[in-house]
Structure 1
Amino acid sequence: MTGITHAYDTFQPTHYDIFIDINRGTKQISGKSVIDGDAKQKDIFIQQKNMEIESVQADGNDVPFEVDNKKEAINITLPKAGETTLAVTYKATLTDSMMGIYPSYYEVDGVKKEIIGTQFETTFARQAFPSVDEPEAKAKFDLAIKFDEKPGETILANMPEVRKENGVHYFDTTVRMSTYLIAFAFGDLQSKITTTKSGVKVGVFATKAHKANELDFALDIAKRAIEFYEDFYQTPYPLPHSWQLALPDFSAGAMENWGLVTYREAYLTLDPDNTSLDTKQLVATVITHELAHQWFGDLVTMKWWDDLWLNESFANMMEYVSVDAIEPDWHVWEMFQTSDVPAALQRDATDGVQSVHVDVEDPAEIDALFDSAIVYAKGARMLVMMRALVGDDALRKGLKNYFAAHQYNNAQGNDLWSAVGEAAGMDIGGIMNSWLQQPGYPVVSASVVDGKLALSQQQFFIGAGEDKGRQWQIPLNGNYDAVPTIVSDKTITLGDYAELRQAAGKPFRVNVGNNSHFIVKYDDTLLQDILDHHEELDAISQLQILQDLRLLAEGKQISYASIVPLLPKFADSHSTVVNAALYRVANDLKKFVTPGSDEEKQLQVLFDKLSAKEVARLGWTPKAGESNDDQLTRPYVLNAALYAKNADAIASAHDLFTKNASDLSNLSADIRPYVLRNEVKNYGSADLFNNLLNEYRKSSDASYKQDLCVALTATPDAKLIAELIEKFEDAETIKPQDLRAWYRGVLSNDEGQQAAWDWIRNDWQWLDDTVGGDMEFTTYITVTSMVFHTPERLAEFKAFFEPKLNTPGMTREISMDIKVVETRVALIESEKAAVNAAVAEIVK
Structure 2
Amino acid sequence: MGKGFFIRKTVGIVGIVLAAGAIATIIALSVVYSQEKSKNNENEVKPTGAVTTPVPTTEPSNEPWDQWRLPQTLSPQTYNVTLWPRLQPDATGLYIFRGLSSVVFRCVEKTNLILIHSNKLNMTLQPTLTALGSKPAPIIESIVMHTKTQYMAIHLKEELTAGESYELYTEFVGELADDLGGFYRSEYYENGVKKVVATTQMQATDARKAFPCFDEPAMKAVFHITLYHDPATVALSNGLNYSEVATLKKTTFAPTEVMSTYLLAFIVSDFGFIEQNIDKLQIRIFARQEAINAGQGEYALSVTGTILKFFEDYYNVPYPLPKSDQIALPDFNAGAMENWGLITYRETALLYDEEISSNGNKERIVTIIAHELAHQWFGNLVTIRWWNDLWLNEGFASYVEYLGADKAEPTWNIKDLIVLNDVHRVFAIDALASSHPLSSKEEEIQRPEQISEVFDTISYSKGASVLRMLSDFLTETVFTQGLQTYLDHFKFNNTVYTDLWEHLQRAVDSSSSTPPRSVQDIMDRWVLQMGFPVVTINTETGQITQEHFLLDPETKPDRPSEFNYEWFVPISWTKKEAAQPLYWLLQKTNQVDQMKISGDEWVLANINVTGYYRVNYDNENWERLLNSIPVINRAQIIDDAFNLAKAGIIETTLALRTTLFLASETEYMPWESALDNLDYFYLMFDRTEVYGPMQTYVGNKVEGLFDYFTRLTNWENLYNQVNALRVACSTGNENCTTLVKTWFEQWMENPNVNPIKANLRSAVYCSAIAAGGEKEWNFAWEMFEKATVASEKDKLRAAMACASEPWLLNRYLKYTLDSNKIRKQDATSTIISIASNVVGQPLAWDFVRANWEYIFKQYGGGSFSFSNLINGITKRFSTEFELQQLIQFRDDNAHIGFGSGNLAIQQSIERTTANIKWVKNNQETVLEWFINPL
Same-fold call, TM cutoff 0.5: yes
**CA deviation after TM superposition for structure 1 residue 364, in Å:** 2.9
Deviations 1:656-680 (A, max 9, x none): 2233332365521221122222222
The answer for the alignment partner of 1:56 in structure 2 is: 127
Within the candidate set 155, 178, 190, 2:235 is matched to 155
Answer yes or no: is 1:207 the counterpart of 2:288.
Answer: yes
Aligned residue number for residue 809 of structure 2: 721
Structure 2 equivalent of residue 776 of structure 1: 865
Asked whether the equivalents of residues 805 and 815 of structure 1 are also in contact (C-alpha less than 8 Å), the reply is no
Change in 2 beyond 3 A, CA 1:591/1:131:
closer
**For 1:682-761, what aligned pairs fall within 5 Å after superposition?**
682-684=771-773, 686-761=774-849
1:585 aligned residue: 677
Note if contact 2:79-2:224 (Cα within 8 Å) is conserved in structure 1: yes
For the pair 1:171 / 2:253, whether they are aligned, the reply is yes
CA distance in 1, matches of 2:496, 2:546: 29
Shift of the 339–672 alpha-carbon distance from structure 1 to 2, 3 Å rule, reads same
Confirm or deny that 1:487 pairs with 2:588.
no
Name the structure 2 match of 1:634. Answer: 721
Residues 1:432 and 2:523 aligned together = yes
Match of 2:926 among 815, 835, 841: 835
Deviation at 1:98, TM superposition (A): 0.2
Question: Compared with structure 1, are the counterparts of its residues 21 and 304 closer, same or farther at alpha carbon in structure 2 (3 Å cutoff)?
Answer: same
Match of 1:445 in 2: 536
C-alpha change, 1:482 and 1:774, in structure 2 (3 Å) is closer
- Counterpart of 1:657 (choices 731, 744, 747) is 744
When structure 1 is superposed on structure 2, of 483-492 and 329-338 the one drifting more is 483-492
Q: Name 1:244's counterpart in structure 2.
A: 326
Counterpart of 1:12 in structure 2 is: 75
Counterpart contact for 2:390–2:455, Cα < 8 Å: no
Contact in 1 for aligned 2:273/2:289 (Cα 8 Å): no
Query: Which position in structure 2 is the counterpart of 1:533?
Result: 628
Deviation of the 1:622 alpha carbon: 5.8
Secondary structure at the counterpart of residue 106 of structure 1: strand
- Measured in 2, the distance between the counterparts of 1:384 and 1:681 equals 40
Alpha-carbon separation, structure 2, partners of 1:75 and 1:372: 32
Out of 251, 259, 269, which is 1:187 matched to?
A: 269
Task: Specify which of 671, 675, 681 is matched with residue 760 of structure 2.
Answer: 671
Task: Give the C-alpha shift of residue 32 in structure 1.
Answer: 1.6
Instruction: Report the Cα distance in structure 1 between the residues aligned to 2:415 and 2:723, rounded to whole angstroms.
Output: 19
> What displacement does 1:350 show?
0.2
Query: In the alignment, is residue 461 of structure 1 matched against residue 553 of structure 2?
Result: no
**Secondary structure in structure 2 of the residue aligned to 1:486:** strand
Task: Determine if contact 2:234/2:268 at 8 Å carries over to the other structure.
Answer: yes
Identity of aligned residues (%): 25
Counterpart pick for 1:571 among 650, 663, 670? 663
Q: Quick one: structure 1 residues 70 and 835, their matched pair in 2 at CA, closer, same or farther if it must change by over 3 Å?
A: same
CA RMSD of aligned residues (A): 2.2
Which of 157-166 and 546-555 deviates more? 157-166
Q: Which moved more, 1:549-558 or 1:57-66?
A: 57-66
Amino acid at match of 2:202: F
User: How far apart are 1:640 and its partner, in Å?
Assistant: 1.5
* Separation (CA, whole Å) in 2 of partners of 1:776 and 1:770: 13
Structure 1 residues 313, 620: CA separation in 2 closer, same or farther (over 3 Å shift)?
A: farther
| Secondary structure of the corresponding residue to residue 252 of structure 2 | strand
Matched letter for residue 103 of structure 2: I
Task: Work out the CA distance in 2 between the residues paired with 1:353 and 1:620.
Answer: 46
Deviation per CA, 1:440-478: give whole Å up to 9, x if none.
000111114xx5211001100002422663101111112
In the superposition, relative to structure 1, how do residues 288 and 415 fare at CA in structure 2: closer, same or farther (>3 Å)? same
Q: Aligned partners of 1:817, 1:413: CA distance in 2, in Å? A: 30
Contact 2:394 2:459 in 1 (8 A): yes
Matched, 1:77 2:131: no
Distance 1:220 1:496, change over 3 A: closer
Distance 1:699 1:51 in 2: 37
Match of 1:29 in 2: 97
C-alpha displacement of 1:281: 0.9
How far apart are the structure 2 equivalents of 1:5 and 1:725?
Answer: 37
Instruction: Judge conservation of contact 1:605–1:644 (CA < 8 Å) in 2.
Output: yes
Confirm or deny: 8 A CA contact 2:68 2:447 kept in the other structure: no
> Are 2:185 and 1:103 equivalent residues in the alignment?
yes
Matched residues in 2 for 1:594 and 1:396: separation? 48
Of stretches 55-64 and 809-818 in structure 1, the one that deviates more from structure 2 is 55-64
**Partner amino acid, structure 2, of 1:495:** D
Give the aligned residue type for 2:110: Q
> Over residues 718-772 of structure 1, what are the superposed CA-to-partner deviations in whole Å (9 max), with x where a residue is unaligned?
3322322221111111111111222122222232223222211111111112212
Q: 1:364-403 counterparts in 2 under 5 A?
A: 364-403=448-487
Which residue, 268, 278, 285 being the options, matches 2:367?
285
Contact 2:841 2:873 in 1 (8 A): no
Q: Is the 8 A contact 1:31 1:89 kept in 2?
A: yes
Partner Cα separation in structure 2 for residue 767 and residue 190 of structure 1: 34
Identify the residue that residue 854 of structure 2 maps to in structure 1. 766
SS at match of 1:754: helix
The structural deviation recorded for 1:532 is 2.4
2:634 is the counterpart of 1:542: yes
Change (3 A) 1:77 1:576: same
Unaligned runs of 5+ in 2: 1-59, 132-136, 510-514
Q: Deviations over 1:156-201 (max 9, x none)?
A: 11011111246321110110000000101111101111122x3211
* Contact residue 123 and residue 363 of structure 1 kept, 8 A: no
| Equivalent position to 1:223, from 291, 302, 305 | 305
AA paired with 2:624? D
Q: Secondary structure at the match of 1:721?
A: helix
Q: Secondary structure at the match of 1:820?
A: helix
Amino acid aligned to 1:643? S
Q: Secondary structure at the match of 1:632?
A: coil
Opposite residue 537 of structure 2, the aligned amino acid is A
730, 738, 748: which one aligns with 1:643: 730
Q: Which residue of 1 aligns with 2:110?
A: 41
SS at match of 1:571: helix
Q: Name the CA distance, whole Å, in 2 between partners of 1:641 and 1:454.
A: 43
8 Å contact 1:590–1:600 — kept in the other structure?
yes
Whether the 8 Å contact between 2:637 and 2:658 is mirrored in structure 1 is no
Letter in 2 for 1:66: V
Per the alignment, in what secondary structure is the counterpart of residue 77 of structure 1?
Answer: strand
Task: Give the structure 2 partner of residue 339 of structure 1.
Answer: 421
Q: Closer, same or farther in 2 for the Cα pair 1:329/1:8, shift >3 Å?
A: farther
Letter in 1 for 2:883: L
Q: Which range moves more in the overlay, 801-810 or 666-675? A: 801-810
Q: 2: distance between equivalents of 1:750 and 1:659? A: 28
- Counterpart amino acid of 1:590? Y
Which stretch shows the higher mean deviation, 551-560 or 302-311?
551-560
Partner of 2:383: 301
Specify the SS of the correspondent of 1:32.
Answer: strand
Three-state SS of the structure 2 residue aligned to 1:37 is strand
Match of 2:907 among 816, 827, 830: 816
Give the one of 449, 453, 470 matched to 2:565: 470
Paired with 2:349 and 2:925, the residues of 1 have a C-alpha distance of: 43
Q: Is the 8 A contact 1:615 1:634 kept in 2?
A: yes
1:791 CA drift (Å): 3.0
Alignment of 1:119-158 (within 5 A): 119-147=201-229, 149-151=230-232, 153-158=233-238
Give the superposition deviation at 1:598: 5.2
The change in CA–CA distance for 1:643 and 1:700 in structure 2 (over 3 A counts) is same
Distance 2:450 2:222 in 1: 25
- 2:47 aligns with none
- Distance 1:609-1:100 versus aligned 2 partners, 3 A rule: same
TM-score, normalised by the number of residues in structure 1: 0.94
Residue 150 of structure 1, CA deviation: 4.4
Cα gap change, 1:419 to 1:681, in 2 (>3 Å): same
Aligned equivalents of 1:602, 1:508: Cα separation in 2: 34
